[in-house]
Structure 1
Amino acid sequence: MTSVSIEFGKTLSVRRTPIPGLVVLDLPVHGDARGWFKENWQRAKMTAAGIDLPDFGPVQNNISFNDAVGTTRGIHAEPWDKYVSVATGRIFGAWVDLREGDTFGAVFTTELDPSSAIFVPRGVGNSYQTLEPDTAYTYLVNDHWSPDATYTFLNLADETASIDWPIPLDEVEISAKDKEHPRLADVVPMPPKKMLITGANGQLGRALRAEFGDHPWIEYASREDLDLTAPGLDAARRWRDYGTIINSAAYTSVDQAETPEGRRDAWSANVTAVAALARVATANGITLVHVSSDYVFDGDKTGPYTSDDVASPLGVYGQTKAAGDAIVSVVPRHYIVRTSWVIGDGRNFVRTMAGLAERGVDPKVVDDQTGRLTLASDVASRIAHLLRSGAPIGVHNVTSGGEPASWYDVAREVFRLTGHDPDRVSGVSTDDYFAAADGPVSRRPRNSVLETADPGATWQQRLAEYLSS
């Protein structure tokens, strides 16, 4: 084969392919009589060049030198992302989607020379054939090789993929191992990256299980399964196999947090554990989803709190949640999901009021704290949407819609919806309610109303659905 000239002067651009996440880059190459120069990987420029090209965090650079035309490398899918380019020479590249999903078996082929490159996402089989002698094939990867990693392979001659190799496979150099790889019908697809959901036994944890389901790649963990504050969390899992951590674990005993023991427990669960997860997520390119609270605010604002409002917590619980939020905010890939007055499968205010109504108890309920109820299932659904849509990182408020109400208003609605007289509920101020408390009492925000872009149903509708279920 004859050598071809490198195309100089291209504009940096990204081209999509039929395989999701697999994108081809045109690279500007500058040359003169002395030779040529290019920026092979320039993070800021390339991640801004187009959709689907992530800041994938490479940790290793490998080079494969091939002295003969026709050298052919097998179709290998590794559990990491790969950025492939050519330093010298030219190749015919073939990529096959070997991930679970609708595009399993999809094929894309193209030629690459020093003026082009391709980003290969985890689980997409990668192979090539050299078209010029002395071809140097180089690739960046975002994980180190590990004997424990899961690999997926496809035979170069697979009839279903039907790759049109420029040089017939019986005329080129191929390793014996590559010749033995399975046909597509026998390939075990590469599973998605793992997801870890902490706090699996809580109200939100159970809602997250209902939302995401039970799959081999989803791990639900309680404190008994995984102590986030224990030494050695960094080595507790092969974290490079994880794509997402959803942290729904938290210490939520607001008043108990004001005691010496409760203060330690709150800081341990809401700050120390969160810092450990943030460290793991940052080191391994994991998306960290953290659930926050209206208690990070003092409640003195007139009007709803936005995602940009500065935290000003009143009590220990709120202080620990605000500290956890600050830690998570520096993780490169993060979502802070802030919510209020959550009800789900477990002990909560609504269940308590329904029980009192049924037993004939006429409660006094605080009437000077204002907010909106939020179903745990709505929080779980919103988290799933953020992850699947690739929403911008940062703080996202999640509550029901409707006019804000007090706990007194909510209690009356519970009585009404369960067939009891709402006038059995009487209102009381926060100060009077806690006046006779035996132990320490945390200060509560009087205004817990959060501004949300997509409130959906009103809290009254959600409450009715919750009670009917």
Structure 2
Amino acid sequence: MGHAPDLTSSTTSIPGLLLFRLPVHGDERGWFKENWNRATMGALGLPDFGPVQNNISFNALRGTTRGIHAEPWDKFVSLASGRIFGGWVDLRDGASFGTVFFCELTPGDAVFVPRGVGNAFQTLEDNTAYTYLVNDHWSAGAQAEYTFLNLGDPDAAVPWPIPLNQATMSAQDLGHPLLGAVKPMKPRRTLVLGANGQVGRALRQVFDDVETVDFAGREQFDLGSGSSYSGLDWRKYSTVINAAAYTRVDAAETSEGRADAWRINAASVTRLARAAVEHSLTLVHISSDYVFDGTARVHSEDEQPSPLGVYGQSKAAGDAAAATVPRHYIVRSSWVVGDGANFVRTMAGLAERGAAPSVVDDQFGRLSFAVDIAAGIRHLLETSAPYGTYNLSNDGPVQSWWEIAREVYRLRGADPELVAPVDTEAYFKAGTAPRPRNSALDLSKIRGVGYSPMDAGKRLTEYLQGPEV
């Protein structure tokens, strides 16, 4: 055997179906090949699909034909011996449904088959060993999710080298439906936890047109309950968005609140991160400016956490757990405003009554409207942005709480002069949580992946014109 070619990969007519040419090294004793390599193949486009099971199908006779099966997991197909003709048909719901690709495979070839793409092969030599890695464990329940296509479907028209009337096939494969009767395989779903909070409600709005998103409040999925994890069919999901959190900043300084903050913001996130790793999920987790002490004027994503209080400490611990998931987005926000109790709504109510509040003027940042956080999360997922941490507040000038309160008064037709400035030390009493002085977030990274948050002032105007305020 001569010099082995370099490892290469190429795309095919089916989106996500990749063909690899493998270096095979041989001499008079036989041959050796590196069949799967996470690092080198990943550099050539192979998804980090996390295989958990290796299967081999041995076929004694030339002409053995199996398929067309679309399975609810990804698979990486190669040969240990022999030669096959492979045929693949896209049976996923979407524009590429029915697209066909076929080629001959030897031990020097491999194919990555995405979930929902129908897979079939016909052996061209006796004693062919067909091997494949999959990223979920086979079970009877999983088999019920398969989608099948008839090997002889005239629309797919796979050009089998050995006519099917001369091939060896199973009775089940002979009875599969034609393309027009196939129910396309739906994509895996997205699960939103904490769906009744401010960000959760905004996620309901932003994903309203997507039928593959499930929303769960605490009643449906309690992050702190083991039965929530064991009772969920994780195989249905590819992504989980954690919008649940303990956010009572001052109460977190009490003995009871401290325990609740750590249970929800840290221990439960650690459990969720473990589930994401075990089931190869993408985890989206909402973070907070409170993980910083506010010394820096503007906080970038790579700044080390330095939380002042219990709430910030518990959130920083949850961030660290979420970051252990290979596919994660930590979305860090500040001063959240949405459908629920928040600073802007409180100030609007005071303005309506003509009250004269004192508001701190030495804490600085930007508002983060929940609808823009939710839209940013959708953007990260739909564009497959690089995994990692992203700051996501609204844009515009950095302001103090006092300046924002004055603007709320103005927009509600009240006199901004009613809002008196006060410093943090004078305003907050003993027993309340320390706050970061500066909460402004650097937005250059989120802009770099194509998402530009709306100016906070413009969004504030829209928010105060809404019927719910």
Match of 2:61 among 62, 68, 73: 68
Paired letter, 1:394:
G
CA deviation profile, 1:118-138 (whole Å, cap 9, x unmatched): 000111110011111211111
User: Whole-Å Cα distance in 1 between the matches of residues 3 and 89 of structure 2?
Assistant: 29
Tell me the secondary structure at the aligned position of residue 277 of structure 1. helix
1:185-204 deviation per Cα after TM superposition (whole angstroms, max 9, x unaligned): 11111111121110000010
Per-residue Cα deviation, 1:267-318 (whole angstroms, up to 9, x for no partner): 11101110110110011111111100000001112x3100000101011100
Corresponding position: 1:157 with 2:182: no
The separation in 2 between residues aligned to 1:370 and 1:322, in whole angstroms, is 20
CA RMSD of aligned residues (A): 1.4
2:427 matched residue in structure 1: 433
Partner of 2:90 in structure 1?
97
Matched, 1:375 2:369: yes
SS at structure 2 position matched to 1:148: helix
Deviation per residue, 1:390-421 (Å, 9 max, x gap): 22221100011112000111111111122222
Q: Which letter maps to 2:234?
A: W
Q: Is the counterpart of residue 443 in structure 1 residue 434 in structure 2?
A: yes
Q: Name the structure 1 match of 2:248.
A: 253
2:392–2:443 contact (8 Å) kept in structure 1: yes
Given the superposition, is the C-alpha separation of residues 7 and 131 from structure 1 closer, same or farther in structure 2, using an over 3 Å criterion? farther
Aligned partners of 1:105 and 1:184 also within 8 Å: yes
Check the 8 A contact 1:7/1:29 in 2, yes or no: no
Unmatched 5+ residue regions in structure 1? 1-5
| Residue of structure 2 equivalent to 1:127 | 120
Q: 2:16 aligns with which of 14, 21, 24?
A: 21
The match for 1:142 among 125, 135, 141 is: 135
- Look up the equivalent residue of 1:362 and give its one-letter code: A
Gaps of 5+ in 2: none
Quote how far apart the aligned CAs of 1:356 are.
1.0
What are the Cα deviations for residues 246-279 of structure 1, in whole angstroms up to 9, with x where unaligned?
A: 0000000000111111111111110111011011
Shift of 1:234: 4.3
Counterpart code for 1:168: P
Distance 1:155 1:182 in 2: 5
- Within a 5 Å distance, the mapping from 1:159-174 to structure 2 comes to 159-174=154-169
- The letter for the 1-side match of 2:131 is T
For the 8 Å contact 2:5–2:22, the answer to whether it is kept is yes
Which is further off, 385-394 or 310-319?
385-394
Match of 1:351 among 340, 345, 356: 345
1:231 to 226, 234, 251: 226
> Offset at 1:7?
8.2
Which of 444, 453, 458 is matched with 1:456 structurally? 453
Is the partner of 2:138 in helix, strand or coil? coil
Q: Percent identity?
A: 59
C-alpha distance in structure 2 between counterparts of 1:248 and 1:360, whole Å: 35
SS of residue matched to 1:380: helix
CA distance in 1, matches of 2:184, 2:139: 19
Of residues 183, 193, 198, the one that matches 2:193 is 198
Contact 2:372–2:453 at 8 Å: present in 1 too?
no
1:263 partnered with 2:258? yes
Deviates more, 1:215-224 or 1:291-300: 215-224
Distance 2:281 2:333 in 1: 23
Q: Does 1:109 align with 2:102?
A: yes
Paired amino acid for 1:446: R
Partner residue, 1:3: none
Shift of 1:232: 4.2
One of 209, 218, 229 as aligned partner of 2:204: 209
Of 263, 267, 270, 1:272 maps to: 267
Q: 1:404 aligns with which of 395, 398, 405?
A: 398
1:187 to 162, 178, 182: 182
Kindly indicate whether the alpha-carbon contact (under 8 Å) linking 1:8 and 1:115 is maintained by their aligned counterparts in 2.
no
Q: Which stretch of structure 1 is more off in the superposition, 156-165 or 243-252?
A: 156-165
> Cα distance, 1:215 vs. partner?
5.4
**1:465 matches 2:465:** no
TM-score by length of 2: 0.95
Kindly indicate whether the alpha-carbon contact (under 8 Å) linking 2:76 and 2:133 is maintained by their aligned counterparts in 1. Answer: yes
Looking at structure 1, the residues matched to 416 and 9 of structure 2 have their Cα atoms a distance apart, in angstroms, of: 62
Matched residue type, 1:452: L
Query: 1:102 and 1:424 mapped to 2: Cα distance?
Result: 58
Count of residue pairs the alignment pairs up: 458
Aligned partner letter, 1:109: F
